[in-house]
Amino acid sequence: MADQYTMQDPTKQFTKAGPEFKQQQPEPGLQTKMTPVPDCGEESYRGTGRLQGRKAIVTGADSGIGRAAAIAYAREGADVVLAYLPEEEDDAREVVKLIEAEGRKAVAVPGDLKDEQYCIELVETAVRELGGIDILANVAGKQQYVEDIADLTTEQFDHTFKTNVYGLFWVCKAAIPHMKPGSSIVNTSSIQAYSPSEILLDYATTKSAINTFSKALAQQVAPKGIRVNVVAPGPIWTPLQIVGGQPADVLPEFGEQTPLGRPGQPVEMASAYVYLASQESSYVSGETLNANGGMPTP
Ligand code: NAD
Ligand code: MG
């Protein structure tokens, strides 16, 4: 079985999109019901002990990129607290099983990141159940396309910011007092921060906010020995895209605009989250790692 160390042609490593990619589910969606099911490394991610004994929180850990990060962290030797929405329990259960199969601890903490109290409880649970926090991967996010600003409601604008920006702020704020020197925060931006789609006004704006927040926070916590970095994915095949993140009609061509000519799979993001969480990136902070199929970024 090929894993992330097997040399191969990246243009052919995973399938291009096609007619079968056209599908819709209500938010937040379940990836178990997607065709094809996204590849989060369940079979293919091989750990080599890069995060032995670490204690991690991963938000959005039930599906997509967060699930890929959670699986990779466990295979690299970390215990993981998983944050996700209560409606995503079926996806989350699978991740818990995969983490436990590695002999690592998995603690499921469902809830809504738009609620500051939940963000505080998430961190308190991690401290209580894992005995601390060495890695905080903020991966959860909300994306809903709206073609005309006239139809973009204040409620949606508010929910996108509450989920993507406030939730991240609240979890970072609660976690930092518990993080020892050597700890790492990994936030999740997007190609949308640099190259925004006209139909993603609110979402794209939150992603540039996350980049800027991370660069500022990285400087603030550097003297504490805590590093803050960002992963900025391109088009990745996840539930986010089929619950209103994109118009259904464009899904058959999803990812075709990238130089590599295909959508990315969540497992292809996993190594970025591992690298930035581990001591291998000891002199890297305030950085954004673009993993987007080769699209140029500033
Ligand atoms: P996903 O749907 O699998 O993950 C998003 C997760 O966010 C959900 O599983 C859910 O658990 C969580 N979430 C959403 N609203 C929440 C709330 N109010 N409270 C708690 N949790 C909530 O999709 P994904 O694509 O893996 O998204 C993960 C991250 O990657 C997001 O930040 C997204 O913006 C970013 N991203 C995705 C792409 C892409 O093409 N898929 C591209 C760039 C960036
Ligand atoms: Mg999900």
DSSP secondary structure letters along 231-282: EEE-SB-SHHIIIIIS-GGGGGGTTTTSTT-S-B-THHHHHHHHHHHSGGGT
38 CB near ligand 1 (under 6 Å): no
Q: Answer whether 218's CB lies under 8 Å from 275's CB.
A: no
Question: Residue 63 belongs to a domain with what CATH number?
Answer: 3.40.50.720
Q: What's the pTM?
A: 0.99
Task: Compute, in angstroms, the gap from residue 282 CA to the centroid of ligand 2.
Answer: 31
Q: Which residues surround ligand 2, an ion (CB under 5 A)?
A: 62-63, 88
Token pair of 75, please? 């295979």
pLDDT for 63: 98
236 located within any domain? yes
Residue 26 lies in a domain: no
Question: Is the minimum distance from the CB of 47 to ligand 1 under 6 angstroms?
Answer: no
Instruction: Output the six-digit token pair for 290.
Output: 């673009």
pLDDT tens, residue order, the chain (298 aa):
899 999 999 999 999 999 999 999 999 999 999 999 999 999 999 999 999 999 999 999 999 999 999 999 999 999 999 999 999 999 999 999 999 999 999 999 999 999 999 999 999 999 999 999 999 999 999 999 999 999 999 999 999 999 999 999 999 999 999 999 999 999 999 999 999 999 999 999 999 999 999 999 999 999 999 999 999 999 999 999 999 999 999 999 999 999 999 999 999 999 999 999 999 999 999 999 999 999 999 8
Strand, helix or coil for residue 27: coil
pLDDT of residue 200: 98
If one residue of 238, 246, 260, 288 were mutated to test the ligand 1 pocket, choosing by the most ligand atoms within 8 A of its CB, it would be 238
Is 203 assigned a catalytic role? yes
Q: Does residue 91's CB lie within 6 angstroms of at least one atom of ligand 1? A: no
Judge whether 151 lies within some domain: yes
Total number of domains constituting the chain: 1
| Domain coverage including residue 99 | 55-290
The response to whether residue 141 sits with its C-beta less than 6 Å from ligand 1 reads: yes
Q: Is residue 186 a part of any domain in this protein? A: yes
Kindly state the helix (H) or strand (E) to which residue 130 belongs, with its residue range: helix 116-130
Q: What's the confidence (pLDDT) of residue 245?
A: 98
Instruction: Find out whether 237 and 16 touch, Cβ atoms under 8 Å.
Output: no
Q: Is 142 in the pocket of ligand 1 (CB under 6 A)?
A: yes
Q: Among residues 73, 84, 194, 203, which one is catalytic?
A: 203
Residue 167 maps to a domain = yes
**Would you say residue 261 lies in a domain?**
yes
Give me the pLDDT at residue 1, please. Answer: 83
